[in-house]
């Protein structure tokens, strides 16, 4: 439910909450039974994270906050996201999630939404902060090409040449993977082929958070020691369909540290 000071969805004639509106603060916990199947579905070995909660999965709780507020997120398409982790969350540790709408703008193809969420521990320390930017799209119709041509200019990563990229791993996304990963999200564009077609997509989409988890896994080394603190900026450039091949690429600095990560589709085009 919404906090007392916020308006109900649509009360101002809009499809989303007004800027400044807050989502109800609540306690959440990711244990092994929650984390492990979702990591496997995203193509990530759970052992890589050991007793630590994988940061990207907390993006799912952001969407849960949206649906618990009574918002209909069918047709929500990710554009960009940031993660700032100052300290790791232990697997099974209870944290509190709070969030608010930073910006809302009606555009020709729907509503552009920017939201900020914070995850705090029992002492009130902010362990993870994430900002989500997405388009709550209107139905496009199967004959109209999908995309966000009128989306605002977002901060872009530095342009990098195609040389120096290293292939880490390849995988094939399956409908079962998408169902397991996004089972509690509530956006039917990930499950319903007819609905996906209404928005101009040939098949249901793998969730953006699923790509984020795969991308962030490149920051964790093979011994199961993810970074205690990091700041990552993600951009979602192309849809990933639930029956598509994908590859993960990294670019390192001279010391071998991963500085940039890309996921690519079967045509070699960057998806995120």
pLDDT tens track for 25-40: 999 999 999 999 999 9
Residue 235, Cβ neighbours under 10 Å: how many?
17
| 127, pLDDT greater than 80 | yes
Alpha carbon distances (Å) from 25 to 13, 79, 96, 118, 217: 25, 25, 7, 10, 28
Rounded to 5°, the CA angle 175-181-182 comes to 90
Alpha carbon distances (Å) from 156 to 59, 81, 193, 237, 267: 21, 12, 32, 11, 22
Q: How far apart are CA 271 and CA 211, in angstroms?
A: 9
Mean pLDDT of 212-231: 84
Tokens of 108: 């020709």
Digit-coded pLDDT (tens) for 53-64: 999 999 999 999
Residue 78, Cβ neighbours under 10 Å: how many?
21
| 246, pLDDT greater than 80 | yes
Q: How far apart are CA 96 and CA 78, in angstroms?
A: 24
Kindly provide the residue ranges of all beta strands, DSSP E only, lying in 87-194, ordered along the sequence.
94-107, 110-120, 126-137, 166-172
| 152, pLDDT greater than 60 | no
Element (H, E) at 180: helix 175-181
């Amino acid at each position: 439910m919404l906090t007392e000071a916020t308006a109900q969805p649509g009360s101002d004639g809009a499809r989303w909450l007004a800027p400044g509106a807050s989502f109800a603060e609540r306690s959440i916990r990711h244990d092994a039974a929650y984390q492990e199947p979702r990591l496997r579905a995203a193509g990530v070995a759970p052992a890589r994270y050991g007793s630590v909660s994988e940061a990207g999965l907390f993006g799912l709780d952001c969407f849960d906050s949206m649906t618990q507020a009574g918002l209909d997120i069918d047709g929500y398409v990710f554009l960009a996201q940031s993660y700032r982790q100052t300290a790791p969350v232990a697997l099974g540790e209870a944290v509190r999630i709070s969030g608010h709408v930073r910006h809302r703008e009606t555009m020709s193809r729907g509503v552009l939404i920017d939201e900020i969420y914070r995850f705090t521990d029992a002492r009130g320390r902010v362990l993870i902060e994430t900002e989500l930017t997405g388009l709550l799209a209107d139905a496009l119709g199967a004959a109209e090409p999908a995309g966000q041509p009128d989306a605002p200019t977002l901060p872009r990563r530095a342009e990098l040449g195609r040389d120096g990229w290293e292939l880490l791993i390849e995988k094939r996304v399956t409908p079962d993977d998408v169902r397991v990963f996004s089972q509690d999200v509530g956006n039917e564009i990930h499950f319903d082929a007819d609905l996906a077609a209404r928005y101009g997509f040939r098949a249901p989409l793998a969730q953006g958070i699923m790509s984020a988890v795969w991308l962030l896994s490149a920051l964790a080394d093979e011994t199961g020691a993810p970074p205690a603190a990091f700041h990552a900026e993600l951009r979602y450039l192309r849809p990933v369909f639930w029956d598509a091949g994908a590859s993960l690429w990294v670019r390192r600095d001279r010391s071998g540290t991963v500085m940039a990560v890309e996921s690519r589709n079967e045509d070699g085009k960057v998806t995120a």
